[in-house]
Amino acid sequence: MRGLVYSGINEMTIKEFPDPVPEAGWVVVDIKATSLCGSDLGSLTNPRHNRNLIMGHEGAGVVSAIGPGVTMAKVGDRVALFHIIGCNKCKWCMSGYPQFCTVDRRALAGVEQGTDATKCLVKEENCLPLPADVSYAVGAFIGCFAGTSFSAMKKLGPPNGMNTVVVSGLGPVGLCGVIYAKAMGARVIGIDSVKIRLDLAKELGADEVINFKEADVVKTLKDMTGGVGPDRLYETSGAIQAQMNLIMAAATQGIMVCVGFPGHIGDQGDAKVLLYPMIGKELTIRGSSIMARQNHYEILDFIKAKNIDLEKMITHRFKLDQIIEAMELFATGNTGKVVIDIDE
């Protein structure tokens, strides 16, 4: 099998690896689609990153081998991959939240080998059934950023026609938030500085967009809402200034959900919370981490009921042999979602 590794800071190589052999409770998935995530770029510049680790954590494919005792998947199953592997015994894993596992939490491309490869080894619990009418690309999305945005929207109410939802940062996580918020009936305002992403947000349903390099974000949001401010705020960029702007612009008793990290994942960062406006306006500010594993079915039902095509976020597709080129393009920010199709 072959897979992408980060051989050094800002250095990438496609390497050959032995085919994985599943132990009890584990399965091998032949990856059919993997997609690029903003956190991949963080790992590329992280000096602590494991240079022998296959990258990628957004993947979907077909089960090709199973270990002893596996009952939740069989050879030939189409599956999306939930990218956090837990112990499956602690209270968080049993509740569907392996990302909060207190015993043995491991992430694809963090500890375990990732999905930017022809094959991936995961626990059977990480295989989310993928219906035949859902593409492998969309399956890859649901296991990470599309699940993250769906969970965040639920924490925002979920929003409806009475709400104005601001989406700060129009990378794939933000663009997915635009799609969901609009489908839920809200007025949607997107914020970014990259033209292709601002334009794509409009195509995907944003009612208005703001280029933060050309406008005073707080004043513009106030003006767009009759001086009241938006009541639902979704921050995906992790930029401290973006977080501060949303807090200052938010309506009284507004709800804000943050999913973007201000630095390398695992770092403490330099985030600031503006306590005076938060207290004075009685804001609710909370984080959101991926999704509950069982949300997979809820997302499938939602996108079917609302006739949502998440592939509309895709602006570029590449083959595995072109993944380094794909990463270099993605790093410029001048893309929507980038997908790697694997047919080996």
Nearest to 38 by CA among 338, 282, 279: 338
Residues 296, 284: Cα–Cα separation, whole Å: 26
pLDDT at 271 over 70: no
With a CB cutoff of 8 Å and minimum separation 6, the contacts of 232 are 156, 157, 159, 163, 164, 165, 166, 181, 186, 254, 255, 256
* The pLDDT value given to residue 266: 59
Encoding tokens for residue 24? 């009890």
155 and 262 fall within a common domain: yes
Please identify, among 287, 310, 328, the residue that sits at the C-terminal boundary of a domain.
287
155 and 275 fall within a common domain: yes
23 and 49 fall within a common domain: yes
Cβ 175 vs Cβ 313: under 8 Å: yes
Please identify, among 244, 267, 287, the residue that sits at the C-terminal boundary of a domain.
287
* Average pLDDT score over the chain: 95
Encoding tokens for residue 262? 């201000």
Domain total for the chain? 2
How many Cβ atoms from other residues are within 10 Å of residue 289's Cβ? 12
Residue 228 is part of which domain span? 147-287
The 10s digit of each residue's pLDDT in 30-48 is: 999 999 999 898 888 888 8
pLDDT at 270 over 90: no
pLDDT confidence bin for 274, thresholds 50/70/90: confident
We report the CATH number of the domain holding residue 98 as 3.90.180.10
Phi, psi of 139 (to 5 degrees): -60, -45
* The pLDDT value given to residue 159: 97
94 and 194 fall within a common domain: no
* The pLDDT value given to residue 264: 60
66 and 28 fall within a common domain: yes
Cis amide linkage into residue 158, ω under 30° from 0: yes
Cβ 62 vs Cβ 136: under 8 Å: no
14 and 139 fall within a common domain: yes
Encoding tokens for residue 299? 């997302």
Residues 47, 9: Cα–Cα separation, whole Å: 7
The 10s digit of each residue's pLDDT in 57-102 is: 999 999 999 999 999 999 999 999 999 999 999 999 999 999 999 9
With a CB cutoff of 8 Å and minimum separation 6, the contacts of 158 are 184
Average pLDDT estimate for 168-185:
98
pTM of the model: 0.95
